[in-house]
Structure formats: C-alpha cells, structure tokens
Chains A and B, each alone.
Chain A
Amino acid sequence: MATIHFSQVCKTFGEVTAVDRLDLTIADGEFTVFVGPSGCGKTTSLRMLAGLDEVTSGRIFIDERDVTHEQPKARDMAMVFQNYALYPHMTVAENIGFALKLRRLGRAEVAEQVSRAAEMLDIAHLLQRRPKELSGGQRQRVAVCRAIVRNPKVFLFDEPLSNLDPQLRTSARGEIRALQRRLGVTSVYVTHDQIEAMTMADRIVIMRDGKVQQIGTPVEIFERPANTFVAGFIGNPPMNILPLAALGKAAGLSPQLAGVDQSETMIGIRPEHVSFVSVSSAATIARVVQIEMIGTECLVHAEIGAERIIARVVRPLAPRIDETVGLAWPDDEIHLFDASSGRRMGQNLRLSA
C-alpha cells in the first residue's frame, strides 16, 4: 500500500532530455498506465521509480518518504519485465522464491509462499521446470508470480504483454487487472499500446518526447483530449484532425463555430461520428477514395479537397469508391484545437462542459 509522488523529475542522457519535469501523484491502490510512442520517456520514468536509473533532478516520494537516491532494494517494489527476465539457471520455484531467499526467510516458509502465489496464477504444476521449457504465456505468469510473491508496496510493469500473441494478450491484461484489484497494490504500468492503456488504467499518463501530454481517466482522455497529439494517439482509427478552413461553408454554418478564427483552428472529429448524408443537404462535400472492411463496420476514406477524412460506419451505410458524398457530424462531438500550439481550445463550447 503506497502513494507515489513525482516532483519535477528530469532525466537527461547527455544532450537528450528523456523525461522533462514529470509531476505526478499516484494514489494508494491506483492502477496508472504510462503510454506513448517509443522514446517518449515512459520506460525511463518507470526505471527511475524503480531505482534502476538515476534521477537527473527532481525528487521521488513513496508515501511521505524521499526515495530519490535509494537503491531498488530499499524501495520495496516488484517489477515485471518486457522479456520476463527469468533467471535461466533456476527452476520456476527458485525464480519465484529468489527474493524471499535473499530476505533470509526459512526454506519451509519460502516454499509455502511460493506455492501459494503459484496457485493464485495457476502455475503450481510448473514449479520444477526451467524457464526455457515454458511457453511465452507461462513465462509471463511466472514473471507476474515472482512480483506478487513478495507482497510489495508497488507493482511496476514494463510492457509485460508485448511479447505475447494477441489472443493471450487480451486475456492476460484482464487477469493482471483483476489480480491487482484483488491485492489492492498501487501499480504503474508502461505500454505503447493505447488499447491496453484504455482497458486497464484507472488513470492514464500520455507522454511524448519526455513531456506529459495529458493525465486523466480513460474516459476523460477519450472525450476531452488536451491536444492534437493525444487526440490522434487514443482511438482507433485516430481522430480526424483538419484545418477548420478546409471544411468550407460547414464551418460557417455551425453556430458553435461563430467567432472562431478559421485560419488558426484545427477541428477534430472521431471517425465513428462522421455520417453520410445527401449531397444537396450537406455542408461538406467529399469524394470517397478508399474503403476498408474491418468486420461489421468499414472505414471509408474520403477527400475534402486536399484533406483526408476517415469515417467509420456499419457496412450497409457505406458509399462506393469514387462516389461524391455529403458529410455530417453532431455539433457536440467536435473538438477544436489551436493550429499553432495544438492545444485544445474553446472552453465555452458545450462539448467541453
């Protein structure tokens, strides 16, 4: 049980700033996901929290204690690594029990705790095997088991599912989350996969180039992205982001958009909110250039002049390629961003209320 607090934490490697002034408080028992493209500083942040990387400046607190310069050993955290990092020369039982053994627990007590943790993860039958005799999914379970057996203050996960095949990944993320809820241990989880972030997190921290872009619940981040980067990163396919001027007279028609400087504004519309209407009644006209079938729905790529927009519609509603169509969207589902800074704007709009 622990709260975590990052205060103005920076990390530089030579000239490169990997993490830039990270400020974040994670509540006791919270499951926080760091997400972003590779090189955004999310793994570095996790490693600094773990004590595996030195902090360049700033402080890290666990509960009220300053742990900035403490060894990993003193922080009482357990970590699950991307490639599991199981000790190849040890059996599964020895892998799980290694930390307990280092704490000088008696042989019997280690064995008992190991088997209890192994049962929780359904790997009790694998205890005498070596890591190389296990499948990827089994190794992943052993890695998680090694983390929970110590009953630490904090769990750290560094892309623990990225080496699994997609089906296994879906079930594993549910299991990890259920396990964490049951144990109630504060967790920090790093991933580049926005689906994992959205499905697992209590709170998401989106990073890019070492800077935090937005911190919020999955719903907040999806409904009110703080800037064009977040808007484009979360959601699949990503939000359409176009210069407001490209929409032609549609921009002028919407009462919400009155008084907005068209040349300085980007408009964001999620593909699922775009619908097709007859050309005569439409404010925005587009030409269909590509259609991708993805199951019940399809993705329709259309061009408005030089700009491209993607609509996600159920298959019977899809137009044909080369067809000219009218586009429409609910007024309260649009997002406005400042063209130069990319920041969300228009606090007076209903959608931001």
Chain B
Amino acid sequence: MAPSMLKLSRPLMLVGHIILLVTALSIIAPLILVLGTSFKPANEIYGGLPWPRKFTLQNYYDVFEKLPFGRYLWNSLATTTLRVGGQLLIALFAAYAFARYNFPGRGLLFALVLGAMMIPPQLTFLPIYLLINKLGWFDTWAGLIVPNLAMPLAVFLLRQHLLAFPKELYDAAAMDGANELRILWSVVLPNIKPVMAALTVVLFVDCWNEYFWPLVITETDHAMTVQIGIRRFLDAERGDDLGPLMAAVTLISLPALAVFFACQRQIIQTFVSVGIKG
C-alpha cells in the first residue's frame, strides 16, 4: 500500500504479530463460546467442549417461547433507530451552525457542548430520571429516546469535519438560489456521507448496547429493551438458563453487525482517503 508505511525489523514484527494474535484471540474466544453454547442442548452446556456435540436450535425456539422476545426486539430496534436518527439530525444542525456562522456566544456555547461530553452519566441520571417521571415518561419509548437526543460527541466530530468543508461551495449554492436547508441537504450532506456513516455505526452500537439507562427507566414489556429483557434468563434461585441466554445474545449482536456492514463501504472509503492524505 502506502510506500511510507512504517518499516519494522523482523524480530519486532514477530513480537507485534504475537501481540495482535493474543489480542484477537482474547476478543474472539468469548464470542465463539457464546455462539457454540447457543447451539448446545441443555445437558452439554457445562461440558468440556466450546462447540456442541449434538447440534440443536432448541435454545433459539426457547428465546421466543419463554420471553416476549419479539416485543423486546421491537422496542430496541425502534427506539435505537429513532434515537440515532434524532442524534444525527440534531448533531448535523448544531455542527453546521457552529462551523458556518459567527454568532455572538458561539465560543461559550461550544465550550458548553464540549463540557457536556465530560460529565459522567452517573452524575446526571438521577435528575433526568426524576424529570422523566414528572413528564410521565417512565417505562415509555420517549423516556428511552428523548434524554439522549443531544450527543455532544457527534456535534464535535461533525463540526470538525464541516470546518474543513470548502466555503466556496456554500457561496456557490447560495448564488444558485439555495436556502440554508437546501444547502445542507443537497450540497453538504452528500459530501460528508462517509463521516455520517461512521457516526451512525458508533451511535448505533452505543445505543444498542446501552444497559444502565434502560434498566432504570423501563419496567414492563411496554418499553423494555432486549438487553434488559434477557436478564430474565438469569435467575438466582432456579439457576441461570444459559442456553437460551446465549442464543439471545447471538441474536442481539446481529443488528449491530448488519448496520456495520451496511455502512462499511463508506467508512473504509474514509480511512482510505485519510490514509492517502496522511
């Protein structure tokens, strides 16, 4: 690839590869264990091998039999999609304003956005929780979505990208008769697709894997997400139902993977173009 790629001596290269291999294995091994266990009959689960001796899909049936898994999945998919969509839209508008306009208080506002990034969620969850309760949003989709719509990290990343956006294109579009929304939609957005795709993956995974907030804010099937729902397979008294749990975990990882593959082409293009410039 790039001719300027870092050249390492042979022993150093070997050490590097070993480190990479160990890291990769440590990530892959649990995944293999989950996948393997999800296809095992109940009597094999505590058995020695990571993969099933007798392959079964029973655990996958159980997931839908024993839990309202479809409902959980729907809650998760819908709230995640709405939340990520909202986050992207708000971040795009905010970042565009920060990057394009020079308005009084811009520096202070942006400092506040950055500051919001540094406050740990454990600190804010209680007041937000009380607020949501007052609004009557406990155990609703709105309770899951609305408090998370503004995403400082997304605003920050997009703003950095938009600062590098050629200003003449705004001018050209304005001369062509486009208003602000049209410029954003027809000129800016098509040119920042890769970063939007990368951001979509990050935000999606972040939201999809969220555990703490849904645990606090949901109670019933009405809004409970799949990540919280599958806790029902963990039972201190009757013992954990590991087979269906692993099947559920496997199923849950699929949407995130799907989003990644859908955006992959755009993202890799970003890395390639960054690589060429750098």
Chain A residue contacts of B171, Cβ below 8 A: 47, 50, 52, 79, 81, 85
Chain A residue contacts of B182, Cβ below 8 A: 102
Report whether over half of chain B's contact residues are helix, strand or loop; otherwise say mixed: helix
Name the interface residues of B181-225: CB closer than 8 Å to any CB of A: 182, 186-187, 190-191
Q: Give the size category of A's interface with B.
A: 20 to 34
Given contacts A88-B191, A89-B190, A89-B191, contact A102 B168 (CB under 8 A): no
Given contacts A79-B171, A79-B172, contact A85 B178 (CB under 8 A): no
Report the bound CA distance from A242 to B75 in whole Å.
Answer: 85
Number of residues of chain B lying within 8 A (CB) of chain A: 17
Chain B residue contacts of A51, Cβ below 8 A: 174
A72-B172 in contact (CB<8A): no
Given contacts A83-B168, A87-B187, contact A52 B177 (CB under 8 A): no
A103 within 8 A of B: yes
A285 within 8 A of B: no
Given contacts A52-B171, A85-B171, contact A73 B191 (CB under 8 A): no
Chain B residue contacts of A52, Cβ below 8 A: 171, 174-175
Nearest 5 CB-CB pairs, A to B? A85-B168, A85-B172, A99-B176, A89-B190, A73-B177
Report the bound CA distance from A47 to B190 in whole Å.
Answer: 26
A79-B177 in contact (CB<8A): no
Given contacts A79-B171, A79-B172, contact A99 B191 (CB under 8 A): no
Residue of A nearest to B182 (CB): A102
B3 within 8 A of A: no
Name the interface residues of A140-194: CB closer than 8 Å to any CB of B: 146, 150, 156
B169 within 8 A of A: yes
List the interface of chain B (C-beta within 8 A of A). Answer: 166, 168-169, 171-179, 182, 186-187, 190-191
List the interface of chain A (C-beta within 8 A of B). Answer: 47, 50-52, 71-73, 77-79, 81-83, 85-89, 98-99, 102-103, 146, 150, 156
Q: Report 9 cross-chain contacts, Cβ distance below 8 Å, ordered by A residue.
A: A72-B177, A77-B175, A79-B172, A79-B175, A81-B172, A83-B166, A87-B173, A89-B190, A103-B177
Chain B residue contacts of A150, Cβ below 8 A: 176
The smallest beta-carbon distance between B167 and chain A, in angstroms, is 9
B175-A72 in contact (CB<8A): yes
Report the bound CA distance from A93 to B58 in whole Å.
Answer: 58
A99-B177 in contact (CB<8A): yes
Report the bound CA distance from A52 to B169 in whole Å.
Answer: 12
The smallest beta-carbon distance between B178 and chain A, in angstroms, is 6
Most buried by A among B169, B171, B176, B186: B176
Report the bound CA distance from A326 to B145 in whole Å.
Answer: 90
Chain A residue contacts of B177, Cβ below 8 A: 72-73, 99, 102-103
Report the bound CA distance from A261 to B8 in whole Å.
Answer: 79
The smallest beta-carbon distance between A152 and chain B, in angstroms, is 9
Chain B residue contacts of A99, Cβ below 8 A: 175-177
Residue of B nearest to A74 (CB): B177
Report the bound CA distance from A72 to B190 in whole Å.
Answer: 23
Chain A residue contacts of B172, Cβ below 8 A: 79, 81, 85-87
Given contacts A87-B187, A88-B191, A89-B191, contact A102 B169 (CB under 8 A): no
B166 partner, pick from A50, A71, A85, A98, beta carbons under 8 A: A85
Given contacts A88-B191, A89-B190, contact A73 B168 (CB under 8 A): no
B168-A81 in contact (CB<8A): yes
Most buried by A among B166, B177, B178, B182: B177
Report the bound CA distance from A326 to B140 in whole Å.
Answer: 99
Q: 18 extra interchain contacts, Cβ-Cβ under 8 A, other than A99-B175, A102-B182?
A: A47-B171, A51-B174, A52-B174, A71-B174, A73-B177, A73-B179, A79-B171, A82-B168, A83-B168, A85-B166, A85-B171, A87-B173, A89-B190, A89-B191, A98-B173, A98-B186, A99-B176, A99-B177
